[in-house]
Structure 1
Amino acid sequence: MAPVAAAAVAPVAELPLAPADAAAVRVPSAPMAWGGPRTGSEPTLSDRVVDYRISAELDAGKHAVSGKERLIWRNRSEGPVGSVYLHLYLNAFRNEGSTFFTERRVLTAHGRSRGVASLKKGEWGGIDLASVKQGDSALKWTFVHPDGGPASDQTVARVDLAQPVPAGGTLTLDIDFLSQLPRVVERTGWWGDFNLVAQWFPKIGVLELAGERGATAPRWNVHEFHFNSEFYADFGRFDVSLTVPSDYTVGAVGELQGTARSSGGKTTYRYVQGDVHDFAWVAAKGYRSLDGHWQGPGSPPVAVRVLYPPEYAGSAAPQLKASTDALTYFSDTLGPYPYRTLTVVVPPYNAEEAGGMEYPTFFTTEGYARVEPGTLNQYMSDFVTIHEFGHGYFYGILASNEFEEPMLDEGLNEYWDQRMLRARRQGIVLATPLLKTLGFAPELEGFAMERAGAQLSQPADPLGQNAWNRLSSSSYGTVYSRTATMMHDLEERLGKASLERAFKAYYARWKFRHPSVADLRAVLEEVSGQPREVDRLFEQYVYGTAHIDDRLAGIDVEEVLPVAGKGGVAEDSQSLAKRIAAQREAWRKAHPNAKPDEGPFPWRSTVTVMRAGAPAPQLLRVNFSDGHHQDVRWDDERRWARFSFTGPSKAVSAELDPERKAYLDADKLNDSRTVRADGSASRRWSADAAALLQTFYTLLETL
């Protein structure tokens, strides 16, 4: 019998990695990107790509988590895949040679950091892969550096497979790992008996296809864990069992299944959640909980739980209320909240850097011993909670790429948070309880605060730039404030109702699909019907570093007097002067109660405006001596313009943006002028300063 020839094996092409400079996508995604829009008729909320089944146990004394993970991944591409990439985020905290700490040293020298703690011996963390298997085959892995980071970085591992995954096929990996939590420095870690377990398990990268977020061919999107960046992952299902000491309180992403099982001083909890792209949890000793419920149109019943330490018991009820209020606002203005749980974690004293982090159905916030109504700490408590909840939409459900386009999460979320606070009529009360008692409680409107921190005069980086390739951490910080300010002005230009329709369409079209900035731009253009305004701001701010600085350059007023010559007969200047004087005298007799600047001749008022930055639509308002005003639009490419007004009264002042709608204008102090000097503003500021000093000295006398 003749031997049978072996079947030819198709060669496996090496798939490229998304480049380190990937950012600010300009080409909208294909209509069927990520499986197309989710209509609600599908069996699952997302087109699930990955399934994680993890069993993990916390060694509370060592703050270490041993885990067994079964990862099932679906190859969406039309060709075989021979290698996959795993994020090992926790290795950012392995040593100072990681990309994270290398960038931290440079960027914080030119800006700020949310965490400044230095890790000592015994406080570092990381993930150790004990084994990675495909079936019975033990696989090898190597650390790679997609963004050109230091060779000592170990946050991305390439795993070469024993058998390629065919087009449309699935891969199953069995992974044993040990995660050592760092002492809390940023985002994750332990402090005392508190353990925030985040970025803790091997997570597969995203295989993007042509027509998705600017990709022109299949590619792996798997960036290193940078100092200024967060996350990006495929949607899927998590089934996670957590074993902890029985006297620890546990909270996690998703729904607790059944009753926890206890044995030998340990308790095991099982959490399951589909249609999310990350999993985090907390295990803490001595924690308490406050439970609530929420229900909204189109949403399932939501169980809301606040977990808090005893020292911050005063935060529990305010955090619960802010969370349920946010559920209502975001569901009403974007789309229904699709999950059944929401867990809010208040970190303990000395673990503040663990606060302000977001995961699907789970976030950490800030703690206060007491939240005093009408003070700054109430605003901060509410704002942080609303902000972290809002990530559940922009980072969670919309699932933008926080590495490459942070403005789609941090920026849009900051904008929507401020809209919610504006709707609540909740400004920033710049007062402590003591100052409030003394009657000094000034209030700042939220978008005014965003504008103040937006670096509008000299932005160093475009908003659409990726998270880590920025001048400084402060420049990265403007992703929040400058995006919020830009969107505020876009709302003013498009109209509130038009912009709200556009954002509802953006959510409906791109939920569970990973949009790009080009996809956001396309929806705003289409739904608003005003592509010129959308394009102008995107080109200036998302793709560029423009600034706006329009100013009132001058007001010139002259009386329009008769010219020499009467009835075609020559007239000398002396005769003209007599004729003018006679007309004035006759007019005064006829108008005995006229004001000094009123008379028989009209006034010509000429207002000059100039711009030192990008063109922007402006409203110019000119106020006249008789009390009326005239408005004119300045919306063209001219660097300067003059507007003349002729009438019975003369201009006394003029102002650009009189209704204070253009927050992107870098200098609002040069937007107005008066014909005569007016010291009322400086007198007002002097009076306020004097009053503040007087209050301060009075306080000193009482001590």
Structure 2
Amino acid sequence: MHMRKLLFSLTALGLFCMAQAQNIQNNPGANHGNKFEQLGTILPTPNEYRTASGAPGPKYWQQRCDYDIKCTLDEVNLKLKGSETVTYINNSPDVLTYLWLQLDENQHSTVNNAGYQTSSSLSTNVNISTLDNMEEQKTDNGYGDIITKLTDATGKALKYTVNKTMMRVELPAALKPGQQFIFNLDWNYKIPDRGGKFQSSRGGFEFFPEDGNYLFTMSQWYPRLCVYSDFQGWQNHQFTGSGEFALTFGNFKVQMTVPADHVVGGTGECQNYAQVLDATHFARWQKAQTAKEPLQIFTLDEAKKAETQKSTATKTWVFKANMVRDFAWTSSRKFIWDAMPALVEGKKVMCMSFYGKEAYGLYSKYSTKAVAHTIKSYSKFTIPYPYPVAQSVEASNGMEYPMICFNFGRTEKDGTYSEATKNGMLGVIIHEVGHNFFPMIVNSDERQWTWMDEGLNTFCEYLAEELWDNKFPSRRGPAFTIVDYMKMPKDQLEPIMTNSENIIQFGPNAYSKPATGLNILRETVMGREMFDYAFKTYAQRWAFKHPTPADLFRTMEDASGEDLDWFWRGWFYSIDACDIAVDSVKAAKLDINGVVKPMMPFGMGRQNADGSRNIDKPAVNSFDDISKIRNREDKGIQFLTDVDTSLRDFYWRYDRGLEKYDSATTFKLTPTPLETLDDATKQKYANKFLYEISFSNKGGLVMPVIVEFTFTDGTKEVDRIPAQIWRKNEKNITKVFLKDKEVASILLDPLRETADIDLNNNKWPKIETVSNFNLFKTKQAARGQSQGLNPMQNANKNK
């Protein structure tokens, strides 16, 4: 492939119309009664399908769709051809006259894409690829689904209409409740290049020019049924690339014909390993069933050899998967393939990884063990992993499907890697494997409510990362990590309860803020025991069903006995931030004569100038969040890197100071309130101190008030006041504290649990801080790949 470059660049700015769930308030002009008002009519009315408790109702129903698919991968012409027999079962009480299917491949078509555009601006520098893409939009680029046949079970042609990324199929007769409809569909499409102009594509091919081979990730690849539900009818929103999908559960049988030297991984279990594998590889597969460590079924040497000897013959791999909402697969001759079993409540799950030589130094050591760790950890917090297989595929991207996911993480050519690359790889594997639970099992509508998928999964990812290694630098989950987003200008924010297509700060809004909110509930508002019970109840109630936000909100309250409407209202329906300030402190001490003497109130790795960079410091969070502290104190928790010491590498030692940090070496790159008392009572309180603290809510978001007192003898004490203290006045409150010792200083939120955006007004006496500024910004590295001289390379060089 040739890349033409000109001195051009184009800046594209996104301008979105915000469609937000209304944060309705009955008394908006008052200083009370709003933040703690019940959600009421904001939530849908309970009914026989979805109860007021958040559980499925006695008449809950959902549709089913089974697929029998045959497809052929044309590696030479980079096309996929397929035929499918679809059995759709109408379990609804409604009569249907048509069906809606998703044609996600049409996203790549210049003719049939969703047509959603964002605003753009003209710069003096324009990238040539921008002009090429603008020219291409004037023509039919040939991408997208081409439907060649659509018939009913008898072979009679069916009428259909393609509307951008959706297709409506007209039923020859009304489909009544309890009936099923079978139809046949033939199609083909040009496979998009994920390494080229379709870099944001969730599926396609990646070409490796050094060895002339392809790695195919076939996802959202077949026409598939939309969800028809009790709460919205057909979910037929167009696919624009950001909002993912809602799908119907069913059984799959898929046959993939591919080049004979390819290794294939897919959703479900392969039915014909004995036929598609030779005796040696099949024997390894059988041995892997009881392996204690990942066992390589296809080795590095075999993968390298296959890259040079390309077969012109084909093989057909057959996979089956039951009770899944989707099917994805991968195929390449470049793959190393390893596997080992993991036990989840006594049930064996085969954990597997597929990766090219470019990722060998990381994936062979970590990937399959990370898969096993993820399904075990998530099973603890939700439901036992129900499927027989869990797989991770290195494909320079991150995307999830039932039992299989695609992740990034490649080493330098010398086998070394940066700590950021390693942690990024572990994070994305845990995240994408975790998606098996949300939304593959707890099947929320991603296209409407991205946060119910990404936010809940990111929260569980955080729990799993913390159980991998107590020093893992989790980026999403701890409250202090969301502060920069929460204090952004209001015109750059939208509530979590916003449709996925209308979000500007997609990552913080759909991933980080929901995950942080759940962690605040767990650690600060509800407590771990109560939260974990309620969250597990939600997962159990809605496994293999279609939950809505109201089902989550109601279940969390129903199972815990906590009124959390104030939290949902503030964290999910508003853009308020937490900024609680200590305005003043009054102190009083009772002397032996019973006269109170009032005291006076008190107010309350960066780039160097020469373009060089220093070797990365250990990637340990600068702040030990409350989860890390509690996890260390919990005698029942064992971190995986302590149980399995084989997972300790250079960076495990580096983070603990066992590998010296080289601060001298630099390198340059090539291309974040009085009464009369008796003597006994007076004596009892003679040495007590009263402190009245005035707080103001400057950010608008009501949160618990956490106060750390430091006494004149140097000792400390923390008082925790629930958020309900704000219910009578949401803007200003005072609170009196009785202490046995004299207070020297006061600090709000010492462990930064509430995402307070301004720490400067959290102290008494007020302490002035010196601000820092960044003179240079570091250029962002390519995803999943380190740049420059990493500490591992440097340590090897100096040995």
Same fold (TM over 0.5): yes
Counterpart of 2:44 in structure 1: which amino acid?
V
Determine whether 1:85 maps to 2:100: yes
CA distance in 2, matches of 1:365, 1:647: 54
Counterpart of 1:330 in structure 2: which amino acid?
Y
Note the C-alpha offset of 1:163: 2.3
> 1:539 — aligned with what?
569
CA distance in 2, matches of 1:199, 1:640: 52
Q: Which of 628, 633, 648 is equivalent to 2:721?
A: 633
Q: Which of 554, 574, 595 is equivalent to 1:522?
A: 554
> 1:265 — aligned with what?
313
CA distance in 1, matches of 2:167, 2:475: 47
Q: Secondary structure at the match of 2:332?
A: strand
> 1:232 — aligned with what?
246
Q: Which of 466, 469, 475 is equivalent to 2:499?
A: 466
> 1:160 — aligned with what?
170
Q: Secondary structure at the match of 2:362?
A: helix
**Aligned counterparts, 1:334-345, within 5 A:** 334-345=382-393
**Aligned counterparts, 1:32-181, within 5 A:** 32=49, 49-95=64-110, 98-99=113-114, 102-103=116-117, 125-134=143-152, 135-144=154-163, 154-181=164-191
| Stretch of structure 1 that moved more, 193-202 or 369-378 | 369-378
Counterpart of 2:702 in structure 1: which amino acid?
P
CA distance in 2, matches of 1:53, 1:267: 18
**Contact 2:336/2:356 (8 A) holds in 1:** yes
Determine whether 1:27 maps to 2:44: yes
**Contact 2:455/2:515 (8 A) holds in 1:** yes
Determine whether 1:182 maps to 2:230: no
**Contact 2:84/2:186 (8 A) holds in 1:** yes
Q: Secondary structure at the match of 1:399?
A: coil
Q: Which of 335, 347, 369 is equivalent to 1:321?
A: 369
> 2:12 — aligned with what?
none
> 2:452 — aligned with what?
408
Q: Secondary structure at the match of 2:344?
A: coil
**Contact 2:246/2:444 (8 A) holds in 1:** yes
**Contact 1:453/1:478 (8 A) holds in 2:** no
Counterpart of 2:103 in structure 1: which amino acid?
L
Determine whether 1:447 maps to 2:478: yes
**Contact 1:304/1:342 (8 A) holds in 2:** yes
Scaled by the length of structure 1, what TM-score is found?
0.74
CA distance in 2, matches of 1:647, 1:232: 55
Q: Secondary structure at the match of 1:392?
A: coil
Determine whether 1:487 maps to 2:518: yes
Counterpart of 1:466 in structure 2: which amino acid?
N
Note the C-alpha offset of 1:652: 2.6
> 1:618 — aligned with what?
705
> 1:497 — aligned with what?
529
Note the C-alpha offset of 1:104: 5.8
**Contact 2:63/2:90 (8 A) holds in 1:** no
> 1:276 — aligned with what?
324
Counterpart of 1:478 in structure 2: which amino acid?
N
Deviations 1:385-419, CA, capped at 9 Å, x for gaps: 00001111011000110011111110011111111
Taking a change above 3 Å as real, the CA distance of residues 387 and 649 of structure 1, as seen in their structure-2 partners, is closer
Counterpart of 1:523 in structure 2: which amino acid?
T
Q: Secondary structure at the match of 1:306?
A: strand
CA distance in 2, matches of 1:555, 1:170: 71
Note the C-alpha offset of 1:661: 2.4
Q: Which of 295, 298, 303 is equivalent to 2:350?
A: 303
Note the C-alpha offset of 1:558: 7.9
Q: Secondary structure at the match of 1:51?
A: strand
CA distance in 1, matches of 2:238, 2:476: 38
Q: Secondary structure at the match of 1:194?
A: strand
Counterpart of 1:640 in structure 2: which amino acid?
N
Taking a change above 3 Å as real, the CA distance of residues 549 and 106 of structure 1, as seen in their structure-2 partners, is farther
Counterpart of 1:200 in structure 2: which amino acid?
W
Determine whether 1:368 maps to 2:410: yes
Counterpart of 1:611 in structure 2: which amino acid?
N
CA distance in 2, matches of 1:165, 1:498: 45
Note the C-alpha offset of 1:290: 1.3
CA distance in 2, matches of 1:96, 1:242: 28
**Contact 1:127/1:177 (8 A) holds in 2:** yes
CA distance in 2, matches of 1:268, 1:602: 82
Scaled by the length of structure 2, what TM-score is found?
0.65
CA distance in 1, matches of 2:757, 2:422: 30
Q: Which of 379, 391, 404 is equivalent to 2:435?
A: 391
Taking a change above 3 Å as real, the CA distance of residues 628 and 477 of structure 1, as seen in their structure-2 partners, is closer
Q: Which of 459, 462, 468 is equivalent to 1:418?
A: 462
Determine whether 1:511 maps to 2:543: yes
Deviations 1:587-614, CA, capped at 9 Å, x for gaps: xxxxxxxxxxxxx999875533211112
Taking a change above 3 Å as real, the CA distance of residues 125 and 636 of structure 1, as seen in their structure-2 partners, is same
Counterpart of 1:322 in structure 2: which amino acid?
A
CA distance in 1, matches of 2:276, 2:592: 99
Counterpart of 1:321 in structure 2: which amino acid?
K
CA distance in 2, matches of 1:137, 1:362: 36
CA distance in 2, matches of 1:252, 1:116: 35
Counterpart of 2:373 in structure 1: which amino acid?
D
**Aligned counterparts, 1:630-669, within 5 A:** 631=719, 633=721, 635-637=725-727, 638=729, 639-643=731-735, 651-663=743-755, 665-669=756-760
CA distance in 2, matches of 1:38, 1:539: 23
Note the C-alpha offset of 1:562: 12
CA distance in 2, matches of 1:647, 1:276: 58
**Contact 2:383/2:536 (8 A) holds in 1:** yes
CA distance in 2, matches of 1:528, 1:553: 34
Deviations 1:431-490, CA, capped at 9 Å, x for gaps: xxxxxxxxxxxx9896257424643554722112221122x2x24542101011111111
CA distance in 2, matches of 1:428, 1:552: 33
Query: For structure 1, which runs of at least 5 residues remain unmatched after alignment?
Result: 1-19, 40-45, 110-114, 145-153, 430-442, 566-599, 686-695
**Greater Rg over alpha carbons, structure:** 1
Taking a change above 3 Å as real, the CA distance of residues 204 and 118 of structure 1, as seen in their structure-2 partners, is farther
> 1:578 — aligned with what?
none
Note the C-alpha offset of 1:249: 1.8
CA distance in 2, matches of 1:647, 1:332: 41
Taking a change above 3 Å as real, the CA distance of residues 56 and 609 of structure 1, as seen in their structure-2 partners, is same
**What is the aligned length?**
578
CA distance in 2, matches of 1:602, 1:488: 36
Note the C-alpha offset of 1:561: 10
Deviations 1:116-175, CA, capped at 9 Å, x for gaps: 99869798631111121123321222233xxxxxxxxx2011121222222211111110
Q: Secondary structure at the match of 2:436?
A: helix
**Contact 2:590/2:687 (8 A) holds in 1:** yes
CA distance in 1, matches of 2:739, 2:702: 30
| Stretch of structure 1 that moved more, 542-551 or 520-529 | 542-551
CA distance in 2, matches of 1:632, 1:182: 55
Q: Percent identity?
A: 24
Q: Secondary structure at the match of 2:536?
A: helix
CA distance in 2, matches of 1:202, 1:22: 31
Query: For structure 2, which runs of at least 5 residues remain unmatched after alignment?
Result: 1-17, 23-41, 124-128, 208-213, 278-310, 596-685, 775-790
CA distance in 2, matches of 1:162, 1:230: 30
> 1:590 — aligned with what?
none
Counterpart of 1:98 in structure 2: which amino acid?
N
Note the C-alpha offset of 1:553: 2.1
Determine whether 1:245 maps to 2:278: no
